[in-house]
Structure 1
Amino acid sequence: MLGPQVLAVSRRFGLLALAALAASPALAQLRIDIAGVGGSRIPVAIVDFRDESRSPQPIAAIIRADLERSGQFRSIDSSEPLSELSAPAFVDWRAKQADALVAGSVSRLADGRLDIRFKLWDVVKGAEVIGQAQAVLPDDARLAAHRIADVIYEKLTGEKGVFATRMAYVTKAGRRYSLVIADADGEGAKVALASPEPIISPAWAPNGRELAYVSFESGKATVRIQDVQTGGRRVLADFKGTNSAPAWSPDGSQLALSLSRDGGTQLFVINRDGSGLRRLTQSSAIDTEACYAPDGSKIYFVSDRGGGPQIYRMPASGGAAERVTFNGNYNISPSISPDGRTMAYISRIGGAFRLSVMDLGTGQSQQISDASDDESPAFSPNGKLIVYASRAGGKEVLMTTTLDGKIKTPLLVTLVEVREPTWGPFTRQ
């Protein structure tokens, strides 16, 4: 049986998989392709922005894709030319069954920046909701579009949008591993670190400025922290044995780790500056894959203390652990929603690894994927979406899904291994 210790160094990038992975060409640009049907979604018309060709990015198309991917919206035909200065014929838009309308414009300022403006109207009430303008460098046009989508999402749902946040994930192309940072739609990918040795288990710091991860560049598994702006790196944990599975506390002051320094793999906590190492678990089992509850009071983790890998939780300071998962004999990779109510995890069903979610209040679980090779779920910072790695059509992909599994969006990748996504916080530095 494949145990949690191997899972701590990634089910596909781990020691058992390294020799088997075939060479792959470079990472292709990620695209959006929405599948599935949602329940009640807000019908919104997003008109192509006036003079949008002045932008290097298709502003309106990015906004449409963002909103559709959220599972909260559906697009209405919007071929009519409008801008934020227009007086919409609300009767016509009601006839098209649009509840909301978005239009805008792009112009170039004398200093080379883009002036991107938009307006959101409530079609049902026939009233303006909000209008905004932002001046950005051409390279930031995509980010500007994501920010507009965030404003629209929040105004129409009452929840914060996550389109301007970032993800990090690991790729393997040939014998080259890369730690990649991309927008929440998978576009704008940039390599933060490249190495001929495995990079695994990336984890965003709550400040949105740092990533912790496991590197094998020194010939063994060590935990490092990297500043995503400067690229500066430091070693956090290089103890005897294996150092793996970093997880930040909600306040960013410390990290939980899996260390084998005392023999078997156990959970430890360490301050973010590398001081104050303290052991949390005292079992004879393998304890790994820790994650904090959002209020910092508990730690969820995977252990085989019951004979097979299951998810447990305990006080964040250590102490008695209680079992959380009981369905099936193989449940791993817990991730807790920002409101603390839901846990996403991977369950082996037959021979398939599938994404499931659990209501932590009732203990009821729901399988929300019908794939056979899912891994590494992580919640969006507003808790409305989950990103995970999977296989689709014979290709390795990142997926996002709504919590009910009705709206799934594959972020398509061609012939490259893509693994271990982690969704960054609202803060973007």
Structure 2
Amino acid sequence: MLASVSRRRSLAALAALGGSFGAGTALAQLRIDIAGVGGTRVPVAIVDFRDESRSPQPIAAIIRADLERSGQFRSVDAPAGLSETSVPVFGDWRSRQADALAAGSVTRLADGRLDIRFKLWDVVKGSELMGQAQAVLPDDARLAAHRIADAIYEKLTGERGVFATRMAYVTKAGSRFSLVVADADGEGARVALTSPEPIISPAWAPNGRELAYVSFESRKATVRIQDVQTGQRRVLADFKGTNSAPAWSPDGSQLALSLSREGGTQLFVINRDGSGLRRLTQSGAIDTEACYAPDGSKIYFVSDRGGGPQIYRMPASGGSAERVTFGGNYNISPAVSPDGRTLAYISRVNGAFRLTVMDLASGQSQQISDGNDDESPAFAPNGKLIVYASRAGGKEVLMTTTLDGKIKTPLLVTLAEVREPTWGPFTRQ
């Protein structure tokens, strides 16, 4: 049965069912440990920034970790002593096998802000590639480092970086649940909501400001929307029965939901202001876990209409559905890459739940994890990484992985279980 396995997103909470945002409470920071061997990675040297001790954050170390986690780069040992005003001796850096070099400085301004500057050089050609400066409050030093990593990533790959984006996820510590917003590396975590009742299925709005999620605080599953900046919340769906699995349309104008208001669990669509509710599926099965294709033309969802949970696809306006997954008898939690080419999902293999990716053009799929309890995959907004929840050492953890599974980064939480990650858009408000 579709709802037979615990911890499977909204399925788990539905089976189990029969505070406002202020300054926030920082969680224990997540420790990053990169494992796996990727293919060809660009060797890049990031020199410790001159006077970066004036910053509350280790600027160069954050940049290095960001670039390594992307799977596109590997760090080259870089001795201190260089800044953006220096003239590198490129022969020395070529002997260190570096293809690119970045260095910078941190200066505290009279108004208390930090002036953070850097330059990037092409070591192979012996030329300057770019330079940048930003003045930020000390509390924004980590974000400034992520933005520098984004700039380096884009200059060297031609693709937009995601290091300055955010994630949201749910933690459980004892009997309390928390909705958490953090940087894309898992650091800088802040609690947006706490509750003695489960919080599940968080989903970022395309505007990067709001989160939709399922709350059980009224002793039933209801869908709510929360402004991440102000903490203001409102109920979007509190219909008879269960209200679950919210998914934003790409333009943010509406959400797909799973509702049981008319009997079995079916897919509906509703405007972001709560108006215009309309039923999409008319099956006698359980239809849930909807997600939109990036162009908004189609919806992918999970249904047991064929006897076991599989992923299907239909027009976003409703209509005939076609089956997408055929390998195995249990495939759930679909997520479509921003370019619409790749489907990530969880497949049960010999009793283990593993992250799988499918090329949608060919239908070919590949398991990219060797875990036993993976769940809730979500793509980075540039489509180059996937975040998902898994289990390690008896605890639930977040993982990021490249699409080929060769570079995996566990984000470890020491004080709480962590689950149901969702990666925010490029927009950060």
Could you state the TM-score of these two structures normalised by the residue count of structure 2?
A: 0.96
How big is the shift at 1:29? 1.2
2:92 is the alignment partner of 1:59: no
Root-mean-square deviation (CA, aligned residues, Å) is 1.6
Q: Is 1:205 paired with 2:205?
A: yes
Looking at structure 1, the residues matched to 17 and 227 of structure 2 have their Cα atoms a distance apart, in angstroms, of 29
The residue aligned with 1:83 is 83
Q: Distance in 2 between matches of 1:377 and 1:130?
A: 35
Conserved 8 A contact 1:27-1:173: no
Give, in angstroms, the shift of residue 3 of structure 1.
2.5
Deviations 1:31-61 (A, max 9, x none): 1100000101000000000001000000000
- 1:362 deviates by 0.2
2-side partners of 1:424 and 1:78: how far apart?
32
**C-alpha distance in 2, partners of 1:35/1:351?**
25
Q: Deviations over 1:263-283 (max 9, x none)?
A: 000000000000000000000
Match of 2:367 in 1: 367
Aligned to 1:21: none
> Do the aligned partners of 1:373 and 1:390 also contact (CA within 8 Å) in 2?
yes
Tell me the alpha carbon deviations over residues 51-91 of structure 1, each in whole angstroms, 9 at most, x when there is no partner.
01000000000000000000000000101410000000000
| Equivalence for 1:335 | 335
Shift of 1:415: 4.5
State the secondary structure of the residue aligned to 2:94.
helix
Counterpart code for 1:319: G
Q: Counterpart amino acid of 1:59?
A: I
Rounded to whole Å, the distance in 2 between the matches of 1:374 and 1:101 is 37
Q: Distance in 1 between matches of 2:166 and 2:4?
A: 28
- Tell me: CA distance 1:78–1:11, structure 2 relative to 1, closer, same or farther (3 Å): farther
The C-alpha deviation readout for 1:151-185, integer Å capped at 9, x for no partner, is 00000000000000000000010111100000000
1:346 is aligned to 346
Partner-residue secondary structure (3-state), 2:32: coil
Match of 2:126 in 1: 126
Q: 241-250 or 74-83, which moves further after superposition?
A: 74-83
Following superposition, the deviation at residue 15 of structure 1 comes to 4.5
| Structure 2 Cα separation of the partners of residues 8 and 320 of structure 1 | 26
Report the AA paired with residue 418 of structure 1: V
Contact 1:210–1:228, Cα closer than 8 Å, also in 2: yes
Spell out structure 1 runs of 4+ moving beyond 3 A: 4-18
- The letter of the residue matching 1:205 is A
CA 1:34–1:5 in structure 2 vs 1: closer, same or farther (change >3 Å)?
closer
Deviation at 1:5, TM superposition (A): 9.8
> Who is 2:259 aligned against?
259
Measure, in 1, the Cα distance between the counterparts of 2:139 and 2:7.
38
Q: Does 1:186 align with 2:189?
A: no
**Aligned positions of 1:230-269 closer than 5 A:** 230-269=230-269
> Is the CA contact 2:209–2:227 (under 8 Å) kept in the aligned structure 1?
yes
5+ residue gaps, structure 1? 19-25
The answer to whether the 8 Å contact 1:5/1:288 transfers is no
Q: Which runs of 5+ in 2 are unaligned?
A: 19-25
Alpha-carbon distance in structure 1 between the residues aligned to 2:7 and 2:264? 15
Aligned to 1:28: 28
> Cα gap change, 1:409/1:424 in structure 2, threshold over 3 Å: closer, same or farther?
same
The aligned counterpart of 1:390 is 390
CA contact (8 A) 1:396 1:415 kept: no
- % same residue: 86
Q: CA deviation at 1:195?
A: 0.7
Query: What CA distance in whole angstroms lies between the structure 1 residues aligned with 2:416 and 2:144?
Result: 29
Shift of 1:7: 6.8
SS in 1 for 2:139: helix
How many residues in Structure 1 have an aligned counterpart in Structure 2?
422
Change (3 A) 1:9 1:404: closer
Amino acid at match of 2:142: R
Q: Find the residue that maps to 1:88 and give its secondary structure.
A: coil
Verify the 8 A CA contact 2:390 2:397 in the aligned structure 1. Answer: yes
Deviations, residues 207-245 of structure 1 (Å, cap 9, x unaligned): 001000000111110000000000000000000000000
Residue 282 of structure 2 corresponds to residue 282 of structure 1: yes
Shift of 1:14: 5.8
